[in-house]
Amino acid sequence: MSVKDKLKNYLILQDIISRDTVWHSQVGGRTNKVWRIKGDKDLICKLYTNRHNNPLFGNNPLAEYMCLKWLENACIAPRVYKFLETPIGHVLLYHYIEGSVWSNDVGSVSELLNRVHNLKPIKMLRKLPGSSNDIKKSALCIINKLNFHHKSELIKICPQILIPDIEPALIHTDVVVGNLIFGNNKLKLIDWQCPANGDPVVDIAMFLSPGMHTLYSTNVLSTSDYNNFLLGLKPQVRDRYNTIGPLYHWRLAAYCLWKFEQGIKEYKNAASAEINFLNAIK
């Protein structure tokens, strides 16, 4: 019996869904198994995998559930339906957002991230230190896993930046195109499985990352879109990105090379895009 069938039978036995509920596999996610299930309700069903070796992105079911509950009235994220511990693994059910994946209008992303970062942090989430030394250390933890060639390539281009940490904000950490959904005339963020309290620039660098755009969309942001996005941010966040952003892009380049060395070939082009961008903005 497949994992989907086991989960479907469990949810039916728990009287959470009906037998005539139709399941559709969702594409785009790179970590967990996700289905859209349509019956008397239209839901997303996420089954979490036990992957704990990722050096940059966590996969915490409880953290995602807490974030969705915290954001329930903010029109920023999907509405929770159920959170379950099942014999197959943790399962989150939330209401499907009827809409489309973001493709343009960078101002809407600036506005959404301003709203997220203005919210109070969630005390039970992990804290991500955001000083330049902290970011460099976390990047080096990834770089030390790489082969000699990639390791030496990145060490040579390490940005020389010194800046302290700031007061932490609620951050998503994985603001890529596939996690930005337009629904009911509002842009929303999905996939909150690796949130944190930390530096808002984590989210800014992630959205601007040419490596991530290479992976999740067909086009890297234009210079005009890049500048317009930054203009839509709060001035203090924009200024901080302009100072510390290169370190975050350096870490993302290391992450993409690590993924490539894990056998995921498309990350090679992503790493090249990130390195080229880094060299252009340093």
Residues 24 and 151 in one domain: no
At 185 the pLDDT is: 85
Last residue of a domain, one of 32, 63, 98: 98
| pTM (whole model) above 0.85 | yes
Residues 134 and 268 in one domain: yes
Residues 90 and 130 in one domain: no
Residues 54 and 85 in one domain: yes
Q: How many domains does the chain have?
A: 2
CATH (domain of 162): 3.90.1200.10
Provide the residue range defining the domain that includes 82.
Answer: 3-98
**Do the strands 22-25 and 89-95 form a parallel or antiparallel pair, or are they unpaired?**
unpaired
Residues 49 and 142 in one domain: no
CATH (domain of 43): 3.30.200.20
Last residue of a domain, one of 78, 98, 118: 98
Residues 180 and 115 in one domain: yes
What are residue 101's phi and psi, to 5 degrees? -70, 140
Residue 22, number of CB atoms within 10 A of its CB: 9
Residues 211 and 255 in one domain: yes
Last residue of a domain, one of 70, 98, 126: 98
Residues 48 and 150 in one domain: no
Residues 112 and 65 in one domain: no
Average confidence score pLDDT of the chain = 95
Q: Which of 211, 212, 278, 280 is nearest to 245 (CA)?
A: 278
Residues 85 and 145 in one domain: no
Q: What is the pLDDT along the chain (282 residues), one digit of tens a residue?
A: 899 999 999 999 999 999 999 999 998 666 899 999 999 999 999 999 886 789 999 999 999 999 999 999 999 999 999 999 999 999 999 999 999 999 989 999 999 999 999 999 999 999 999 999 999 999 999 999 999 999 999 999 999 999 999 999 999 999 999 999 998 889 999 999 999 999 999 999 999 999 999 998 767 899 999 999 999 999 999 999 999 999 999 999 999 999 999 999 999 999 999 999 999 987
Alpha-carbon gap, residue 124 to 65, rounded angstroms: 12
Do residues 237 and 204 touch, judged by C-beta distance below 8 A? yes
